[in-house]
Structures are given as C-alpha cells and as structure tokens.
Amino acid sequence: MGKYTLELDYDYDFVLIGVSSHEKDYRICWGLNTKLGLDLVKMEPLEIKDKKQDELSHFSLFSCERPDEFMEYFIIANRSEKGMLIPEQKQMDYFFIIRGEIENDDVMEMIKKIKEIDLVQTAFRMDVASLKSKQNLIL
C-alpha cells in the first residue's frame, strides 16, 4: 500500500507586532486596552508541543473580538515555563496579532501608541514569513 503525505498550507494573513516588556501579561493587556481602546480578555493558554519535549508548553493568551468591524486582536506571551513560542525572537516578550482588514497607516499608528505605553520598552512590526517557528502563531 502506498504512503500518503498530508501537506497543510496555513493562513498567515495577519499583522504581527513584537512587544518587548518585562511586565506581567495582565499589565501589558491593561496598557493595550487603555491606549488602544480594546477589551483583551484572558483565554485558555495556547498549548504547543515542541519536537524536543514530551510535555506541552503553555503560553498565556488574551483576545478581543470586534465582529462589527471584522477584527480580532490577540496577545501571546513568547515565554513559558518550558521554553519559547518563537525561539528565534528571544528579545520579544509578547506578540500582538491583528486579524482583519487594516490599513498600513493604521498599523503604524497602533505601533506608535503601543510604544507610548510606559510598560513597553519597544514594539515593531514583524514579517511573519521570515519566522522559522511561524506555525506556532496559528490560533
């Protein structure tokens, strides 16, 4: 009998913003909610099983849905007790994901506002396609 291989094409059609901050996840979400007018709420943690580990890693996850605008916002921690979500981005503490139709100018304005949050050291747009571990960002 022949062997079949299933190849999946994931949808990476979202804006990814890396956020660097030494603050706890709930404080970063509070800052984003206040500055951007969002309502990020805590969800079940994102579970990822690394090929090198037998156990699951849990990454904190917050989300905000705006169905009337066809927009979704997520913040995911890059660190867990067992490792990193995107190991090649060690300097990033959180990833802010925006799904939906958004203009580039609006993204740049959001990044500017995120940088104004006292708890944030830096924030910048990232190219999802260039990340080796980008499949970990599929929610």
DSSP code of 136? G
CB 123 within 8 A of CB 29: no
pLDDT digits (tens, 9 = 90+) for 18-69: 999 999 999 999 999 999 999 999 999 999 877 666 788 899 999 999 999 9
pLDDT at 134: 84
Backbone angles phi, psi at 27, to 5 degrees: -75, -40
DSSP secondary structure letters along 52-104: T-SSEEEE-EEEEEETTTTEEEEEEESEETTEESSGGGTT-SEEEEEES---H
CA distance 28 to 87: 21
What is the pTM assigned to this prediction?
0.88
Structure-token pair, residue 121: 């050291």
* 3-state SS, residue 25: helix
Q: Is a pLDDT exceeding 70 seen at residue 133?
A: yes
Q: Is a pLDDT exceeding 60 seen at residue 8?
A: no
pLDDT at 9: 56
Q: What percent of the chain has pLDDT over 90?
A: 72
